[in-house]
Each structure stands twice: as C-alpha cells, then as structure tokens.
Amino acid sequence: MNDQLQWGGRFTGAPDAALLAFGSSLEEDLVLAPFDVATSRAHVSALEGGHVIASATADALRSALDTVSGEIADGTFAAAAIASQAEDVHGAIDARVRQLAPQAGAWLHAGRSRNDQVATTLALYARDRATRGSALAAATAREALSQARRALDAGTLLAATTHWQPAQPILLAFWLAAVAESFARAAARFDRVAADAKLECPLGSGACSGTTLPLDREAAARELGFAAPSRNALEAIGNRDLALDLLHAVARALGAASRASEELVLWSAPAFGYVQLADEASTGSSLMPQKRNPDPFELVRAHAAGATGALAAALGTTTGLGLSYHRDLQETKAIVIRATERGLAALAVFDRALAYVRWNDARMSARAGDGYTVATDIADALVLRGVPARRAHELVGASVARAEREDRALGPADLAALAAAAGLAEPLDAPLDAAASVRAKRTSGSTSPAEVARAIGALEAVLAARERMGTA
C-alpha cells in the first residue's frame, strides 16, 4: 500500500490511482499545513497527558513536528508533499513525521481520526483568517475616515443618488464615512468568527464517538487556545459552522467593497469626472492610447460575486448531510479555502487602491445641486409652515416640472409662487443650493457638517479602542 496513506490495513488491493487522485485535496489544503502541525502538537500533549505515550516519545514527536514546521516555512514541505502524491495535507504531515521519527511517528495518530483532525485544523484556520480579515477591514475603515476628514475640511459636496438618479445633496465626507461604517461592521463580523473559533476544540472527538484512550483533551484545548473541549463528538467532527461563518464574513466584507467600487468606477468615467485613479493603480488599453481604467475596483466587484457564489456552494455541500463526517465536507473545505484566500487578497487590493483615489472636489460640488436635489428641502420648509406633507410634495413636484420645462434651476420666484399656492402669508425660506441644503439638516446621523464630524470622531474612537485591545 501507499506509505503516504493513513489507512489500508483491511484492503488487499491498492486504490485506483485515478480515483485516489480525484479524492485528493492536497494542493487545495496545503494552506492548512501550519495549523495541522499545531493540531498534531496538541494531540501529542493529549497523548502524553493521558499517559498513552511516554515523555521520550512525546519529545521525539515534537522534535519531528518542529522540523516539519521549518520545512513548511521554507517551502520544502509543499514541494515534497506534492511529489509524494499524498491524499491530503494531514496525511502528508503524518507521513513526514513517520519518516523523521519512525518509532515515535507510529504513535502520532493514536486515538485521533482525520475527522477530528480536520475539524480542529479548520477551526484554527478560521480563527487566523478571521483575525486577518478584521485587520484588513479596520484598516480600510481608517483609510476612508482619513479621507473623510480631508473632504470635511474642504467642504466638498456630492449629489447622493437613489436608483442612480439625483436625490439630495450630501457631503463627500458623509459618503466616505458611510464606507467606513460598512467596513467597521465587517471588522466586527470577522471578530465574532475569531471569537467563536476559540470556544470549543473538536480534537479528541475521534471518528464520531470519542475514544477509549484516556486523552487529556483539556490540555490539547488549552494549548490551541480554546476555552474547552467540544461537548459532543458526533456533532463536532461534522460541524463546519466556523468555516461557513468565515466565508460569510468574507463575502459580506467584499459586498461592502463592491458597492463602493461600483460608485468609484462610475465616478471615474469622464461623464462624471468626480474621481481619478492615480497612475499607480490604473491600467491602459493595448489599442486605445487614451484609456485610464479603474481595474482594481472592477476586479473587486468580480471577487465579491465569486465569494457570494462560493458561500452558496459551501452551504449547499453541507445541506442534507447526516450528523458525523461525510466526504462531501472535503469540498466544503476546498470551497471555503479558495474563496477566503482570494477574498482576503481582494480586500487588501481595495484598501490599497482606495488610497490612490484622487477626488475632483470642484466638479463634485458644482454638480451637487443638479437634478433639483434641493426639492425635498423646499417641501420640508412647507411642512414646517403647516402645509400637510402630501400637499407639499404635490406643490414642489409641480414646481420642479415647470422648471424642467423651462430648462432652469429653482429660484426665489419659485419659493414665492409656492408660498402663494400654499396660502402662506409670509415668504417661504428654504435652501436653494446644495451647500445650504447640507447645512439645513437637523437630525442626528445626517449629512450636516457638525453631525458628520461627530460621526467620524465616534467611529475613530471605536477603531482606536479595537486597536488598543489588539482586535485589529
């Protein structure tokens, strides 16, 4: 039988090479190698703590695992594992330990199944990548807030849109702070995954029912940074909630990046001209000399779609499975790893590209009032004078229609006509330009300069507190 396999005693024939290769996950899960070594070291502690193996055997196993850890770090392990055609990274590490310490290595898998081994390794992976995702999301939030501070000082205006139609004037700082808020939430979502990945340790659950060997599961859990061993072996070895939650956090963070990317791509078009991506982050055309393409943001949109699809696929692989382990879960692992690695790379790209955005403050501010974006403020002014909201809406809508037909902006004459139509004795006082509209906002969380400044400061404090706590 193949020495790389961790099974085979009850078989008399070798596995079909093509079928074995189809079932191999080695190249996809090599990224788990450092976490498998950590899991194996903890299992050695469980074996030693339960007096299943002698201290000398435990020391020999730890020494071999230290060597494997070094080979993983310098890249030699991956190449050797692929050349050996091992079934997966877990088997490859086990085989390498047996090569390095033949007598001690034969004890490494005592009381352990690949089922609890994989579940534990995936939990460690989820913890590590969630921590990385949190740091990336928090960094992007801080970058957006830094740019929001600059935009607030500049007083840059922007026509906010709904349905991609001009809606109401806002501050550019308000938009940037909104981006920061979405990434702060993404960081918190990653934090919850990382925290959950420290709760229950599956190691020691065996194949599905635990083991008759007196493993010191508490020692293994402590060594790996878990609060306690898992309570139910049958559930623990088939549970992929952490992996699914990690991918969900990745997809949601990329969703935030994709929504911002959509606007940045649109605003970079000459028809808008609101932003320009610096040369360092732009690409050109092989045919059209004039082109400046915002490729990083377009690719982020695509990665967001890919992560969303991967999440659906990963959820699908777990649907309909009974308790305990099923080989379908190997595909769950592969989907989660691929999408997470690519997703975190895309989040890093978004953060890097955002720093290269150059804002055309003058153009944005000049167009913030286009499309009659102050119309709602005029209707509100009528409401404040006692005109029912539906009547105010009707009157201002008619005024906008007249101005559109005459191809002009709303002006003082329109305010006078509205006051008369509403039966008001006094002239109507309402914002007629974007800057006045922004200043007129009164509610908390609005786009008024004072509220935007307050919100920026509050979110900066939240991110600073996270950083002091070592969360990101």
If one counts the domains in the chain, the total is 3
Do residues 265 and 390 both lie within one domain? Answer: no
Short-list 115, 102, 104, CA closest to 39: 115
Give yes or no: 182 in active site.
no
Do residues 96 and 178 both lie within one domain? Answer: no
Taking the C-alpha atoms of residue 92 and residue 37, their distance in angstroms, rounded to an integer, is 11
SS3 9: coil
Q: Which residues pair with 200 in a beta bridge?
A: 228
Of 55, 163, 286, 444, catalytic: 163
- Assess contact for 361 and 176: CB atoms under 8 A: no
Do residues 322 and 257 both lie within one domain? Answer: yes
Give yes or no: 285 in active site.
yes
Do residues 143 and 252 both lie within one domain? Answer: yes
Q: Which residues pair with 162 in a beta bridge?
A: 165
pLDDT for position 82: 87
Binned at pLDDT 50, 70 and 90, residue 26 comes out as confident
Do residues 128 and 275 both lie within one domain? Answer: yes
Of 45, 282, 285, 399, catalytic: 285
Report residue 210 as tokens.
């635990």
**What average pLDDT does range 324-344 have in this prediction?**
94
- Determine if the pTM surpasses 0.95: no
- Which of 110, 130, 148 terminates a domain? The answer is 110
- Per-residue pLDDT reduced to its tens digit, 284-295: 989 999 999 999
In this predicted structure, the answer to whether residue 11 has a pLDDT above a threshold of 80 is: no
Strands 165-171 and 157-162: antiparallel
pLDDT for position 8: 56
- Per-residue pLDDT reduced to its tens digit, 179-210: 999 999 999 999 999 999 999 999 999 999 99
Residue at 121 is within a domain: yes
Do residues 232 and 172 both lie within one domain? Answer: yes
- Which of 366, 389, 417 terminates a domain? The answer is 366
Domain CATH code at residue 55: 1.10.275.10
The torsion region of residue 142 among left (phi > 0), alpha (psi -120 to 50) and beta comes to alpha
Taking the C-alpha atoms of residue 293 and residue 285, their distance in angstroms, rounded to an integer, is 8
Averaged confidence pLDDT in the chain = 94
Taking the C-alpha atoms of residue 96 and residue 98, their distance in angstroms, rounded to an integer, is 5
Do residues 183 and 89 both lie within one domain? Answer: no
Task: Find all residues with CB under 8 Å of 352, minimum gap 6, and list them.
Answer: 281, 296
Taking the C-alpha atoms of residue 263 and residue 276, their distance in angstroms, rounded to an integer, is 12
Do residues 311 and 405 both lie within one domain? Answer: no
- Per-residue pLDDT reduced to its tens digit, 61-83: 999 999 999 999 999 999 998 88
Binned at pLDDT 50, 70 and 90, residue 1 comes out as very low
In this predicted structure, the answer to whether residue 3 has a pLDDT above a threshold of 60 is: no
Between 287 and 28, name the one with better pLDDT.
287
Domain CATH code at residue 257: 1.20.200.10
Short-list 65, 101, 96, CA closest to 81: 96
Binned at pLDDT 50, 70 and 90, residue 50 comes out as very high
- Assess contact for 72 and 33: CB atoms under 8 A: yes
- Which of 331, 366, 401 terminates a domain? The answer is 366
Residue at 29 is within a domain: yes
In this predicted structure, the answer to whether residue 13 has a pLDDT above a threshold of 70 is: no
Range of the domain at 21: 17-110
Do residues 357 and 454 both lie within one domain? Answer: no
pLDDT for position 83: 86
Do residues 351 and 392 both lie within one domain? Answer: no
Task: Find all residues with CB under 8 Å of 173, minimum gap 6, and list them.
Answer: 148, 149, 151, 152, 156, 452, 456
